[in-house]
Structure 1
């Protein structure tokens, strides 16, 4: 099924990223990485609310009681109070890497936040992949990363998928659900970059298939559990950045995009750039994402 693509909200996010559907509150959340904002709406795009965080933001997770966010900002990992907007620094994992910022993240099935960092010029392998739990424990899962993207988990949580965008690969790791450690890194699939696209945000559906946004080519790709391309969805903009299943039945694929490329070498786009899209009719459902520290 090709799916039906509609605009949920045309809000021109400079760098829309990190959609998260919270099944308990029935709300969609996403960020504008460049402008430092968190957004929330209903599944229909109504009741829109925004929080200003004052610096670039890579990703968020909803806290266990739905009163706060865990947010990966440029200067560290923060707790942001939903009512007041106040932010509290939890940990700065890279005080000696001023050229880096924190980027994509996802909560594992046990409530840990797994997030990465990146070189802001997307040139040097100075980034890492981290895990942070409710006790305050920070662990390094991977090093030597240029641009961390697409962490997501198999339905049973025992496989972690992750991309360093400019390697052109998606990796799979054995993931120890008891302690959050990774092992046995292997290539899950080689991303088709012939159309100018690169691996960006990702999610896993209820059948264990991996969905990934290929930024700069305007395509969404579904990979089977063995890494083969199962389906390609064409989007109306080139700079699709990330995606998440949501809606009351978890059967809508929400896709973020960017209105302005972060560096001059990246392409411009059409009038719908920066919109949040809703893709329906895929015949697939997602998995309810856990909250941080659940």
Structure 2
């Protein structure tokens, strides 16, 4: 305890007058925002894992913050009058489990997946729909898959999903029933990273890589980042083949999404390497990269919104 006190005193003694002025000015901004929003102001250091636009309501988003699902008003253009509208209490996770990511499904609901933070490499997948009276939250159970790294729906067949089996580095195809929100059939393996890597004459990366959060284009091709592999793979799920390998100047490539005016730019997010990790000196982790269209048919779909069956207050 004494060592902690001495270290804290040392840090405080190193602060300059300008540092104190900066802290005070930031505190004033937070207090003013809290006052203007009558206390419904979100402030803290918890993780924000997703933000999904709400259909027909400008500046309204469904977000995951501090392991809770909340509805917020956020004007990104003016950054004023931002506040929380509602917290959905139906979604409660145990302390050792955290929301990893989430997307809107094609039916106006939310699909989100979790991961345990106890090192067990397991998690769950949930669907949350407000148009169902009960249950509004259900768990999607797929036997034999302990951890998901994402789900995408086929653009032309909403009864088909591609499911990323994170621990086994596979993408699996399943039938899906929108009415019951249940898996209704296994269509087989759409891609197996380990099998594909073994067949290559030259290694694509060093060490171990893991399939990240994927997206899909209008031709049904998957774009899958390699976390630890510095690449994005363009995959044909029908042949299980890789059509293109896209190099990203970062080891930890995390997620892909289409954007731009014509939805023909692939945006790729990445993560910085930790100080104790061995990464190239040129690693640019922590940035978002834009990949222009590889061909004329590389185009995505506009992000699906979350649907509210009532007008937000």
Q: What displacement does 1:230 show?
A: 1.8
With normalisation by structure 2, the TM-score equals: 0.69
User: Which of 287, 300, 309 is residue 286 of structure 1 equivalent to?
Assistant: 300
Paired residues, number: 240
2:183 corresponding residue in structure 1: 182
Q: Deviations over 1:123-159 (max 9, x none)?
A: 242x111111133611111267654312111112221
Between 1 and 2, higher relative CO (CA 8 Å, sep ≥ 6) is seen in 1
Write out aligned runs for 1:120-131 (5 A). Answer: 120-125=117-122, 127-131=123-127
For residues 85 and 142 of structure 1, the distance between their equivalents in structure 2, rounded to whole angstroms, comes to: 35
Q: Deviations over 1:171-194 (max 9, x none)?
A: 222122344322223432212467
With normalisation by structure 1, the TM-score equals: 0.73
1:58 corresponding residue in structure 2: 49
1:168 corresponding residue in structure 2: 169
Q: Report the CA distance shift for 1:53/1:85 in structure 2 as closer, same or farther (over 3 A).
A: farther
Q: Secondary structure at the match of 1:201?
A: coil
Structure 2 gap segments, 5+ residues each:
1-41, 76-81, 199-204, 309-313
For residues 268 and 163 of structure 1, the distance between their equivalents in structure 2, rounded to whole angstroms, comes to: 26
1:15 corresponding residue in structure 2: none
1:257 corresponding residue in structure 2: 270
Q: Report the CA distance shift for 1:189/1:123 in structure 2 as closer, same or farther (over 3 A).
A: same
Q: Report the CA distance shift for 1:121/1:111 in structure 2 as closer, same or farther (over 3 A).
A: same
For residues 168 and 93 of structure 1, the distance between their equivalents in structure 2, rounded to whole angstroms, comes to: 28
CA contact (8 A) 1:73 1:101 kept: no
Q: Report the CA distance shift for 1:216/1:52 in structure 2 as closer, same or farther (over 3 A).
A: farther
Q: Report the CA distance shift for 1:135/1:53 in structure 2 as closer, same or farther (over 3 A).
A: farther
User: Which of 228, 239, 242 is residue 216 of structure 1 equivalent to?
Assistant: 228
Q: Report the CA distance shift for 1:66/1:281 in structure 2 as closer, same or farther (over 3 A).
A: same
Q: What displacement does 1:58 show?
A: 2.5
Could you tell which deviates more after superposition, 112-121 or 79-88? 79-88
Structure 1 gap segments, 5+ residues each:
1-50
Q: Report the CA distance shift for 1:117/1:238 in structure 2 as closer, same or farther (over 3 A).
A: same
Q: Deviations over 1:6-58 (max 9, x none)?
A: xxxxxxxxxxxxxxxxxxxxxxxxxxxxxxxxxxxxxxxxxxxxx96641233
Write out aligned runs for 1:7-156 (5 A). Answer: 54-64=45-55, 65-83=57-75, 84-86=82-84, 88-91=86-89, 93-95=91-93, 97-125=94-122, 127-135=123-131, 137-142=136-141, 146-156=146-156
Q: Report the CA distance shift for 1:272/1:124 in structure 2 as closer, same or farther (over 3 A).
A: closer
CA contact (8 A) 2:266 2:293 kept: no
Q: Secondary structure at the match of 1:86?
A: strand
For residues 119 and 158 of structure 1, the distance between their equivalents in structure 2, rounded to whole angstroms, comes to: 29
Q: Report the CA distance shift for 1:89/1:178 in structure 2 as closer, same or farther (over 3 A).
A: same
Structure in which a larger fraction of residues adopt strand:
1
Structure in which a larger fraction of residues adopt helix:
2
Q: Report the CA distance shift for 1:154/1:57 in structure 2 as closer, same or farther (over 3 A).
A: same
Bigger CA radius of gyration = 2
For residues 94 and 228 of structure 1, the distance between their equivalents in structure 2, rounded to whole angstroms, comes to: 40
For residues 140 and 277 of structure 1, the distance between their equivalents in structure 2, rounded to whole angstroms, comes to: 33
Q: Secondary structure at the match of 2:167?
A: helix
1:41 corresponding residue in structure 2: none
Q: What displacement does 1:119 show?
A: 1.6
Q: Report the CA distance shift for 1:248/1:124 in structure 2 as closer, same or farther (over 3 A).
A: closer
CA contact (8 A) 1:210 1:225 kept: yes
